[in-house]
Structure 1
Amino acid sequence: MEAFYLYFLSLLVVFISISVPFLCHRSKSKKCKLPPGSSGFPLVGETLHFLMSGPEKFIHQRMEKYSDQVFATSLMGQNLAVICGAAGNKFLLCTANDFVSPWLPDSLLMFLNWVDSPGKSRKDLFSKIRGFHQAVIMRPEALKQYIPIMDSLTRQHLQTDWDPFHVVKVHPASQKITLILACKLLLGLEPDQAQRFSDSFTVSLQAFYSLPINLPGTAYNRALKEVDKLKQEFLKIILERKKMVLENREKAGSDVLSRTLLDENAHLLSDLEFAVYLVSLMIPTYESGSASITFVLKHLAELPHIYDMVYKEHMEIAKSKDPEELLNWEDVKKMKYSWNVICEAMRLAPPATGAFREVETDIHFAGVTIPKGWKVLWSPFTTNKNPKYFSEPENFDPTRFEGDGPTPCTFIPFSTGPRMCPGKDYSRFLILVYMYNVVRKFKLKKLIPDDKVLYRVGPYPASGLPLRLQPH
């Protein structure tokens, strides 16, 4: 009986905390013209529709029903406006940037709630992390140094996880290598050490769009436990590395953690903030990077003529190098057609659903008002398959990205404007290096013709995309 009352009381608290803001905005709606749309059911809004149909179908249906410029919905207990199209992307990500701030649902903020800094807002933490990223991590000279390491580890990965088999499931394999690379480049860990993070990331990511109900047995509750494990692991690594670097600076490696501890900007983040920062780098790498690799290889397996052109480009690079010589920056710059193929794969299967913002003061767009306190979603699904911007949008055509490429603000897989994803070049190197190594070794045959696509943070094939390998 006590357990029943505990569950009931917890659900009541969640219901009240979500319903009060909803009722307040209902009152305000009488004073201004809000975006057209539906708030769905009490408490859950349209979250179940979003999860069951997937973000692409959910957004396309509402653009057709309500507006192709902006529509309202309710997700994860929040009043939400989805701003659509190239004009909407430009408005939200550039023009209105000063009037909105980054926002994450509570189920995602569990990755940032390690830090309890009195007097500091989430916006302050986001700004601090972004400044640190640009000042320390993503310097061009550092990124170029990653390429040979990526190539070496990818070769080792293919030897152990591809070469011995006739069939490989691409999605779990790509998740494994993206985690190995992230742990090596960020933390200086060897491949066998990286695997201890795999289960924690997998369980945590399953709760990304769940209701934040912390009760035994819920996805959110399981995720919180795994996030706490990650917190302790990362703090332990940071403290051990800090001690080592202080004792002997010459032992510091080339990984991000070691370089940061030697950098003059190291004071910008506390140990906990730095741990959060490292996790925030690894999540998109683990999810979005592996999604992009998976769907690139899917299209190469489906389209032999595209595969042949990629193979030709890669072999021209390989012939200019010794067999054991690793890739470098000059090699990657030559992979122009390969990058167009990757862009087209990301157009058809965006590696992330989009990004959230919180409105800090009423903003006006397309004849409606989005009130202060509302959340706003930018999503590539409003433009990527829109025939207004891409002719025959369902066709795979890498030539769309030749010359000046698509119309501005229609293809922005890494966002745009002041808050463009700073990991764009890292992702580019990661996918190109993996693609180069796979294509040079194997021809690919798809085994499941119409595999269902599911969504977590990004898309993934329900079966993991099993491919039959045909060595050259």
Structure 2
Amino acid sequence: MDYIYSSFIVLISFAIPILVKLLSHRKRLEKEKLLPPGTSGWPFIGQTLEFLAAGWNGHPEKFIFNHIKKYGSLIFRSHLAGSPTIVFCGPDANKFLFSNENKLVQSWWPDTINKIFPSSTQTSSHDETINLMKMLHSFLKPDALQGYIGFMDIIAQRHFVTHWDSKDQVTVFPLMKSYTFALACRLFINVEDHDHVAKLAGPFENVLRGIVSVPINVWGTNLNIAIKASKLIRKEILTIINKRKIDLAQGATSFTQDFLSHMLLTSDENGSFMKETDIADKIMALLIGGDTASSACSSIVKFLAQLPDIYEGVYKEQMEISNSKGPGELLTWDDVNKMKYSWSVACEAMRLAPPIQGTFREVMTDFVYEGFSITKGWKIYWSVNSTHKSAEYFLDPEKFDVSRFIGQVPQPYTFVPFGGGPRMCPGKEYARLQILVFMHNLVKRFRWEMVIPNEKLIVNPMFKPEKGLPIRLYPHSK
């Protein structure tokens, strides 16, 4: 009897783990059945190269629409930037993600970002992101930016005198990067000296190329070059921070001078201040983020060259403003708010060529969306082009049609170049100002034509002209 009992106990001890494992396996299989359709692609790299290649060829939307067609679903599974990823497409998905920010999903960046900005792995990046967004919204709100329009106009005028005037031909995209970077340096760290800006600009270009790249850190790769460049920039910004702290202590500068002073003097709800290394990384990220307007400005120049009737509308509006100004009088907030047609042109340019193609989120807790199981820890990628380039939301989506933004607004959650919800880009109003100030100073000086008539726009990592957009200039003064 004891033998039988002992044998039963041994059998049970073996059977229970096996049964638990089988039930767990069955549960996992049932859960996997609810995953969105898709594929993990190649080992390690997943579908990252395919995703990037679509942008390199000038059609980032093809990766999205090919998968939507293949799986018959606006939600599909992939493997991007080194992580299992669910791609969300369409306005309903946009609304869902934007409204559930910091509830079901939170901001997430690929591992390349963590390697370039190492402080993000050493602190609570989620809490810091929320605090940073609060500071940015406060610093970049329209009321606060009104006082910066004059210096934006001054920097734009200096830019054109230095790089455009007296030239027969220029290459637009590198000049746009120079313009937007100079503005960002002034706004965020109060650096205006041309040599100092140029010293920072070169390494920043290397950092930008490494942000959206294959996450392989070996010598010669874009990521490796970006990491080295970030160390140089961080060292330079820390020098600026140390000097600024001395100036603030001595009363030689003010709280509103730039965003760096704002960060140094603003504590969180617990009375704690950000570490200097964290501030340096956040400033780097902001300078990079400010660079997105270079993509929009370049696209606008391209479309205005190709569409003379649109150019005439912008020219008429801007000259009415220019003719109302006295000699040496700078642009004002009221002037910018009169540029309604020009902003409609800019919006249509950003619909066709959005500077940011989408961003990643991380799933905070298991949830079900459209019948699919979305698992905690997975990544979500939401796509701008899934609505911008869809005929369902924009009739004849490949056509430049400025009327889409005149006297009407697109269907909610379809035009999202700045994102939406709590994570909507806090620099939206800043981007609007720098784009319109640029357009004003450009069209009142020149007409132009493209040297390469059919030059296409490619994504790497933002939309940009494939050959830099060389143009011939025809000054109005002549």
Whether TM-score is above 0.5 comes out as yes
Could you tell me how far 1:262 is from its partner in structure 2? 5.3
Q: Which of 179, 182, 189 lines up with 1:180 in the alignment?
A: 182
Could you say which residue in structure 2 is the equivalent of 1:358? 362
Q: Which of 151, 154, 171 lines up with 1:152 in the alignment?
A: 154
Structure 1, residues 52-93: CA drift from partner, whole Å, max 9, x if none?
Answer: 122322112112212342111111221111111111111111
Could you say which residue in structure 1 is the equivalent of 2:425? 421
- Pair 1:295-2:299 in alignment: yes
- Checking the alignment, whether the CA contact within 8 Å between 2:452 and 2:469 is kept in structure 1 is yes
Could you say which residue in structure 1 is the equivalent of 2:54? 53
Could you say which residue in structure 2 is the equivalent of 1:233? 236
Q: Distance in 2 between matches of 1:468 and 1:271?
A: 46
- Checking the alignment, whether the CA contact within 8 Å between 2:264 and 2:273 is kept in structure 1 is no
One-letter identity of the residue aligned with 1:293: C
TM-score normalised by structure 1 residue count: 0.90
> Relative to 1, partners in 2 of residues 1:145 and 1:215: Cα closer, same or farther, differing over 3 Å?
same
- Checking the alignment, whether the CA contact within 8 Å between 2:389 and 2:398 is kept in structure 1 is yes
Alignment of 1:17-416 (within 5 A): 28=28, 30-32=30-32, 33-54=34-55, 55-95=60-100, 97-114=102-119, 117=122, 120-135=123-138, 137-190=139-192, 191-249=194-252, 254-261=257-264, 268-286=273-291, 288-416=292-420
One-letter identity of the residue aligned with 1:38: T
> Relative to 1, partners in 2 of residues 1:133 and 1:29: Cα closer, same or farther, differing over 3 Å?
farther
One-letter identity of the residue aligned with 1:277: K
> Relative to 1, partners in 2 of residues 1:470 and 1:324: Cα closer, same or farther, differing over 3 Å?
same
- Checking the alignment, whether the CA contact within 8 Å between 2:209 and 2:222 is kept in structure 1 is yes
Structure 2 counterpart SS, 1:101: strand
> Relative to 1, partners in 2 of residues 1:139 and 1:51: Cα closer, same or farther, differing over 3 Å?
closer
Q: Which of 423, 442, 449 lines up with 1:445 in the alignment?
A: 449
One-letter identity of the residue aligned with 1:35: P
Could you tell me how far 1:319 is from its partner in structure 2? 1.3
- Checking the alignment, whether the CA contact within 8 Å between 1:132 and 1:268 is kept in structure 2 is no
Query: Which structure has the bigger radius of gyration?
Result: 2
- Which range is displaced more, 405-414 or 260-269? 260-269
In percent, how many aligned pairs have the same letter?
Answer: 42
TM-score normalised by structure 2 residue count: 0.88
One-letter identity of the residue aligned with 2:416: I
Q: Distance in 2 between matches of 1:264 and 1:380?
A: 34
Could you tell me how far 1:411 is from its partner in structure 2? 0.3
Q: Distance in 2 between matches of 1:211 and 1:242?
A: 38
Unmatched tracts of structure 2, length 5 or more? 1-23
- Pair 1:435-2:436 in alignment: no
Could you say which residue in structure 2 is the equivalent of 1:11? none
Structure 1 counterpart SS, 2:152: helix
Q: How many matched pairs?
A: 445
One-letter identity of the residue aligned with 2:51: F
- Checking the alignment, whether the CA contact within 8 Å between 1:354 and 1:377 is kept in structure 2 is yes
- Checking the alignment, whether the CA contact within 8 Å between 1:245 and 1:261 is kept in structure 2 is no
Q: Distance in 1 between matches of 2:302 and 2:260?
A: 34
- Checking the alignment, whether the CA contact within 8 Å between 2:264 and 2:274 is kept in structure 1 is no
> Relative to 1, partners in 2 of residues 1:116 and 1:364: Cα closer, same or farther, differing over 3 Å?
closer
Structure 1, residues 346-400: CA drift from partner, whole Å, max 9, x if none?
Answer: 0000111111100111222222112111100111110001111111111111111
One-letter identity of the residue aligned with 1:90: K
Could you tell me how far 1:123 is from its partner in structure 2? 1.2
Structure 2 counterpart SS, 1:80: strand
- Checking the alignment, whether the CA contact within 8 Å between 1:37 and 1:73 is kept in structure 2 is yes
- Which range is displaced more, 445-454 or 247-256? 247-256
Structure 1, residues 299-337: CA drift from partner, whole Å, max 9, x if none?
Answer: 101000000000000011111111311101010000000
Q: Distance in 2 between matches of 1:102 and 1:233?
A: 28
- Checking the alignment, whether the CA contact within 8 Å between 1:414 and 1:420 is kept in structure 2 is yes
One-letter identity of the residue aligned with 1:31: K
- Checking the alignment, whether the CA contact within 8 Å between 2:207 and 2:229 is kept in structure 1 is yes
Could you tell me how far 1:261 is from its partner in structure 2? 4.3
> Relative to 1, partners in 2 of residues 1:366 and 1:138: Cα closer, same or farther, differing over 3 Å?
same
Structure 1 counterpart SS, 2:211: coil
One-letter identity of the residue aligned with 1:359: V
> Relative to 1, partners in 2 of residues 1:387 and 1:250: Cα closer, same or farther, differing over 3 Å?
closer
- Checking the alignment, whether the CA contact within 8 Å between 2:91 and 2:414 is kept in structure 1 is yes
Unmatched tracts of structure 1, length 5 or more? 1-23
- Which range is displaced more, 401-410 or 241-250? 241-250
Q: Distance in 2 between matches of 1:262 and 1:211?
A: 38
Aligned-pair RMSD on alpha carbons?
2.1
